[in-house]
Amino acid sequence: MRPDDKPYWRSKLYDIIFEANTFEGKLFDIILLIAIAGSIMIVMLESVHGIRVRTGNLLRIIEWVFTVLFTIEYILRIIAVKKSSAYVFSFYGIVDFIAIVPTYLAFAFAGAQSLMIFRALRLLRIFRVFKMGRYISEAKMLALALQASFRKILVFLFTVLVLVLILGSLMYLIEGEERDFSSIPVSIYWAIVTLTTVGYGDIVPATPLGQFLANITMILGYAIIAVPTGIVTVEMARTRTIKVSRKVCQGCSSTGHDINAKYCKFCGEEL
């Protein structure tokens, strides 16, 4: 299936890094996932003041080791893939790039290493490893249903936006600046906190009229949560589970191709 103009080592490298069908490919992916999880753990631990003070230097060294490993992996991916640019500008290509940049950026900007947490996005690769095909089918079905309901959700969210603008401003007028509702932006924040039924309680109405408007806002929020739920449920009932191939395109490393697909629908490469 691999074209002849590709040397054997590159095709082999490709199988290990991108595919999860062979033993080596699966092993590579599992080690990679553990490394990603580990590096995320390190970033999290470093943010805890007590731990940073005691073991800061050690953590920073481990961080560098992970970053160097991920950099090597990134370079190998560019080499192994046939159309490098297709990979570099694909979703996973960008995520892989973002995962290594912050550590280097930290030389220039203090605190930039916290951006390393975007490595978490790499964890989404997990669906490739464990019974990949099945989970990608499920993920794809979810994505399709959400896509189909996208415009309805957008109409809904826009209406909610107008609603919180008005509710927030009314509350600002009712409660006044001397209380919790110090400005319209803060009041809009309160309206969102209330309408979504989050209810922190950092900003609460103190006047009877304010509490009355809060009551209406809460009942509204309780009732309109039914709308996105209804939209998504109906779309899901319409979407059927789609079986997708476990093949990964050698051209651009994209997944989720149809079972009967012979060529990659993104770059035209033979699968």
| Residue list 43-62, contact with a copy of itself (CB under 8 A) | 43-44, 47-49
DSSP string across 50-116 = HHHHHHHHHHHHHHHHHHHHHHHHHHHHHHHSSSHHHHHTSHHHHHHHHHHHHHHHTTTSTTGGGGG
d(CA 123, CA 164): 35
State which of residues 34, 58, 79, 155 lies at the interface with a copy of itself (CB under 8 A): 155
Instruction: Quote the least distance from Cβ 211 to a copy of itself, whole Å.
Output: 5
Residue 207 engages a copy of itself in binding (rule: CB under 8 A): no
Residue 75 engages a copy of itself in binding (rule: CB under 8 A): no
Q: Among 7-15, 68-76, 110-118, 260-268, which window interacts with a copy of itself (CB under 8 A)? A: 110-118
Maximum separation of any 2 CA atoms in the chain, in Å: 79
Query: Which residues from 113-142 bind a copy of itself, rule CB under 8 A?
Result: 114-115, 117-118, 120-121, 123-124, 126-127, 134-135, 138-139, 141-142
Instruction: Quote the least distance from Cβ 7 to a copy of itself, whole Å.
Output: 36
Cβ closest to a copy of itself, residue 44 vs residue 259 = 44
d(CA 120, CA 95): 9
* Residue partners of 226: CB distance under 8 A and separation at least 6: none
Instruction: Quote the least distance from Cβ 204 to a copy of itself, whole Å.
Output: 4
E strand residue ranges, 94-180: none
Residue 95 engages a copy of itself in binding (rule: CB under 8 A): no
State which of residues 159, 243, 259, 268 lies at the interface with a copy of itself (CB under 8 A): 159
Residue 148 engages a copy of itself in binding (rule: CB under 8 A): no
69: nearest Cα among 115, 26, 108, 103: 103
